[in-house]
Amino acid sequence: MKRPDQLTLLKRFTQDFHADPDLATLTDKEANFFYERGFLPEKKRLYGLEAGDIDKADRYLSDVQRWLTRLVNGPYSVVFNNKILFDQVFGRYCEVPRTIAISRNGRVVPHGPLWQQIELGQAGPLMLVAKPLGGGGGGSIYFIRIDRQHAVVETNDTANPRFSVRSEALSEVLTRQRVPFIVNEYVQQGEFSRRLYPLAVNTVRVLMLRDVQSDEPHIVRAVLRVGNSESYPIDNFSMGGLSIEIDLESGELGRAVAAEGRFSGQTWQTHPDTGETITSARIPHWQAHMNKLKALFGQLPYLKYCGFDLILRDEDFVVLEGNSYSQVRLFQMHEPLLENAVYKAFLMAEGLVAPLQ
């Protein structure tokens, strides 16, 4: 990294470190240990890290290292950072949610005739999803149910979680947002995902890379994110949703954990709201899904690293989005990532992990 980039990273990490509510629970010794090793204070609670335990800390990808993975794909990271571009690139090779419209600079730009039909009260019943055009994190997501002349909007905005407007007023709802928005078709999940928690679209996050030895696509880890009454109406892990470990060979689910909210710190073998069995349940067609995903990654040789979000249907999947520097705590609350030899070798080759002495 160039020195200005290093300073920018240090500033960002320092700001995030001091903004972390968990900092108040650390002693000065603990805070110094976590800061020097590039971990946010929350990792004591989430990973069980202890000050001075260098051997254990070195098995986890730190927050600074995770942030640096955004450099791995170089200029091609833009494919993930812009949802329109993602749609246009990945839509050539796999199924992605269809784009209906884009809202930016105070106006809505339709992609096809459907948006105009909605504004004229001539569409429906149908479901749409609106979310910020760039970035991630699960914030400001709108689920829009349209029935001809009326639309019911549900969101994770606690100040106004549900409201109704006339169909012609939807453009105003979007254009008053502070950032550009993309409107996509709503993808119905399959029976397996729906049964676990039907009030959110539950997604699989798969961490993939290109093996430095074989140059072949390699799946490092996969988890199933499942919503609950804390994260409703989404499955987002940062807002209290569950992360469930997946056995890469069989597709069998392990334990569920939560990072935030009232379920934080607990492990679950059944869903806390629906009571559905989690541990030992198996995702149908798992190996077929993973083979298809590896084939997709193989068609994009300029990409080296990605976290894919998949909506599982009954016999296939839809690629919801990709992440150039995937959040990793939803993986590492189950098992440290740097215990994976292929992953560690990849990061060593990229200069993000120190080589073995």
**Burial 214-230, CB ≥16 within 10 A → b, else e:** eeebbbbbbbbbbbbeb
User: Quick one: pLDDT at residue 139?
Assistant: 56
**Burial 261-292, CB ≥16 within 10 A → b, else e:** eebeeeebeebbbbeeebeebebebbeebbeb
> What value, to the nearest 5°, has the Cα angle with vertex 258 and ends 247 and 139?
110
Q: What pTM, to 2 d.p., does this model score? A: 0.94
User: Quick one: pLDDT at residue 133?
Assistant: 85
> What value, to the nearest 5°, has the Cα angle with vertex 90 and ends 89 and 95?
140
User: Quick one: pLDDT at residue 357?
Assistant: 43
> Which residues of the chain register pLDDT less than 50?
138, 357
Going from the C-alpha of 165 to that of each of 51, 120, 128, 162, the distances in angstroms are 53, 13, 14, 10
CB 193 within 8 A of CB 281: no
